[in-house]
Structure 1
Amino acid sequence: MHPIQSSMRAFRSYGIDTPQEFVAKLTGYNSSLAQGRPSTVSGVGSTLQLTLPATVNWTSLGYVTDVKDQGQCGSCWAFSATGALEGQIYKKTGQLISLSEQNLVDCSGAYGNQGCNGGWMNSAFNYIRDNKGINTAVSYPYEAINGACRFNSANVGATDTGFVNIAQSESALQNAVATVGPLSVAINAGLYTFQLYSGGIYYDKNCNPANLNHGVLLTGYGTSSNGKAYWLVKNSWGKSWGQEGYIQMSRNRNNNCGIASAASYPTV
């Protein structure tokens, strides 16, 4: 079966027929929580390295857990947040620990997050900081529903001390992902061309960078053999989507899909 036909069949198995339904059921980034976000915080966003590697791939270096699947729950923000924290914990300790998205879905409502109805990665980082940790995925498995909070301090897999926002430019984003590690980013995933992506470097001139609706994990960047620059992004729609769950998104093309508009990472 052609990859696009396979993707369409998979999405329709969720009862999804339009891009609008797709965004409502399978994304979940709440841009209203990010209002007032500073455009730059700390040296990461404002002081650029003079020389950066031509290619960065944190997945190949062991910083990134396997592709996960948020299911029919608007919890992308939780997957983006855990991915960024998993990377920072690996960088600090050398241990790759899969963290619990369900913990965030069930327990971070006081920070403005709404479980399967949407949330914000930075609110998740604040919850984890104040809660003194997040449980491991093994101890608090994902269910793709809103549930009662079952956090157990005996099963903490990681914690953080806050977060850093990245300046809203692709050059600052490149600097940050090259020097810090995997980053939480928000993008516009509202077009069929994105939803049915199956390979290559994604670009759609109609992908409005101001319409952020999906949280994902930026894991690197590179340039194709024919000279096209791309961002390497881990999605949370399972391995059957895209390139084994990943997408290469156009880089340095006027912030296409808004990838540089709301990037951050947790401090540990």
Structure 2
Amino acid sequence: MSAGSGDPACAAELAGLRDSLSALGNPWHCGETRLSRLSRDARRSRLGVPPPSADELSARRDVPGRMAEAALAVAGQSCTARHAPTPHLPKTFDLRDVGGRCYVTDVKDQGEIGSCSAFGTIAALETTAAYTRGCPGLRLNLSEAHLYFGHAAAREAITPDGTWPDELFADCAGIGVTFEDYYPYDDGGAGALNPGWRHRFAKADDVVDLSRDPAAIKQHIYGYGAVTACLVVYDDLFHYTGGVYRHTTEETSGGHCVALIGWDDDAGCWIAKNSWGTEWGEGGYLRIAYGEAYIEDYPTTRPTTLGCTGVSLRAWLHPQRTLGLYASAHDATGWAYLEHLGWTRLSAGPDDLAGALTSLGSARISGRPIAPFIDNDELGAFQFAH
């Protein structure tokens, strides 16, 4: 049951929050969001990470300050990751604008079910796949339904309070996850898995635990792409509309998973992509203060801040132009530079290589797009687009 915009309880809640924010100098903005209008139980249904106990929170009272201090001490550190844009970490970084190019996929909406860990994990994979290839046009759309209603359910990992992202990352690495069109998301679980999904999926490479280490989190975002992170949800977060979030109440509703896509040292915050749609926050995004809500060190012994160093693909991808070709007579290999994939090795053997290069050369000269089939990051086949 939701409350309309004239609901007295919602209005009173917002009035109290505005007073609290005003007393603190208005560090962030609140307003009536789509979650503000929901009942308390309905709000909780849009979370999805098992909440910490009071004892676990109490044991970490000193952590937020240490995490914030560590996050601010990172600027200028060396970053030798292969995909880092520069050799040193900057004070500000945002995967939505890396030299004018956006590597972050669209904000999604998990609906009225606690599937946030699936959305945070998929967001990390989608962004990492594009960023590590230097190809913002890749625009993967992977299936949260496969991860949540398929893998998590199969391993009986869905608890009444949600799921843990480390288990979902393990499934992405060990089994793989299909694309949205092969298992469409429905928050009621009404979607169905295409039986041919093993010919259209992505797998995470080298999952890395970044928990409790702000420096490692920044290194990974800068060098490989987005990471998942869990946070304690204080009740005022549902009304967030902008600014750098810091909680103003001690009342909590549970735990939640987001994807960190950047940071801003001047503002002292992380930049996170959420899964509550674009009508919440800053177009679906959250700027959250370093150390806030235990986002670097969620109160549990298991890993909760994770990333991967790459994403391998086996799938037909959308049509794109061939921009370059390269062949080596020494080892009889060929490469094609595809518009949204970069340099991709041709898997054709020596007898088929010449024909493949001739066809791709013709497509390049005419500007005719091809639909590539990528298998283990090699160009296994292609079709001319109509």
Q: Same fold (TM over 0.5)?
A: yes
How much has 1:135 moved relative to structure 2? 1.1
Distance 2:31 2:93 in 1: 32
What's the counterpart of residue 88 of structure 1?
A: 128
What's the counterpart of residue 237 of structure 1?
A: 276
What's the counterpart of residue 50 of structure 2?
A: 30
Q: Letter of the 1:204 partner, please give it.
A: H
3-state SS of 1:84 partner: helix
Equivalent position to 2:209, from 161, 165, 169: 165
The 5 Å alignment of 1:83-232 reads: 83-93=123-133, 94=135, 95-108=138-151, 109-114=153-158, 118-131=162-175, 133-146=176-189, 150=193, 152-154=196-198, 156-189=200-233, 191-204=234-247, 206=249, 213-223=255-265, 227-232=266-271
How much has 1:4 moved relative to structure 2? 4.9
Distance 2:131 2:117 in 1: 21
Equivalent position to 1:11, from 22, 32, 35: 35
Change (3 A) 1:242 1:116: farther
Change (3 A) 1:149 1:218: same
Change (3 A) 1:120 1:153: same
What's the counterpart of residue 105 of structure 2?
A: 65
How much has 1:207 moved relative to structure 2? 6.1
How much has 1:213 moved relative to structure 2? 0.9
How much has 1:90 moved relative to structure 2? 1.0
Distance 2:278 2:227 in 1: 20
Q: Structure 1 regions of 5+ residues with no counterpart?
A: 33-47
Distance 1:266 1:208 in 2: 33
Aligned residues: 239
Which structure is larger by alpha-carbon Rg, 1 or 2?
2
| 2:92 paired with 1:55 | yes
Do the aligned residues in 2 keep the contact of 1:62 with 1:96 (CA within 8 Å)?
no
How much has 1:72 moved relative to structure 2? 0.2
How much has 1:149 moved relative to structure 2? 6.0
Do the aligned residues in 2 keep the contact of 1:107 with 1:148 (CA within 8 Å)?
no
What TM-score comes out, normalization by structure 1 length?
0.78
Do the aligned residues in 2 keep the contact of 1:101 with 1:137 (CA within 8 Å)?
yes
Do the aligned residues in 1 keep the contact of 2:111 with 2:187 (CA within 8 Å)?
yes
Q: Letter of the 1:185 partner, please give it.
A: A
How much has 1:230 moved relative to structure 2? 1.2
Change (3 A) 1:69 1:160: same
Change (3 A) 1:73 1:155: farther
How much has 1:212 moved relative to structure 2? 6.6
- Cα deviations by residue, 1:186-216 (Å, 9 ceiling, x for unpaired): 0112x2221110111101265699x971010
How much has 1:256 moved relative to structure 2? 1.4
Q: Letter of the 1:89 partner, please give it.
A: A
Q: Letter of the 2:193 partner, please give it.
A: R
Q: Letter of the 2:279 partner, please give it.
A: S
3-state SS of 1:68 partner: coil
Distance 1:116 1:145 in 2: 15
User: Which structure has more RCO (C-alpha within 8 Å, separation ≥ 6)?
Assistant: 1
3-state SS of 1:125 partner: helix
Q: Letter of the 1:216 partner, please give it.
A: V
Change (3 A) 1:86 1:76: same
Q: Structure 2 regions of 5+ residues with no counterpart?
A: 6-13, 15-28, 53-73, 79-87, 298-303, 311-386
- Identical pairs, percent: 24
What TM-score comes out, normalization by structure 2 length?
0.55
How much has 1:117 moved relative to structure 2? 5.6
Do the aligned residues in 2 keep the contact of 1:99 with 1:134 (CA within 8 Å)?
yes
Equivalent position to 2:293, from 238, 257, 267: 257
Distance 2:190 2:159 in 1: 9
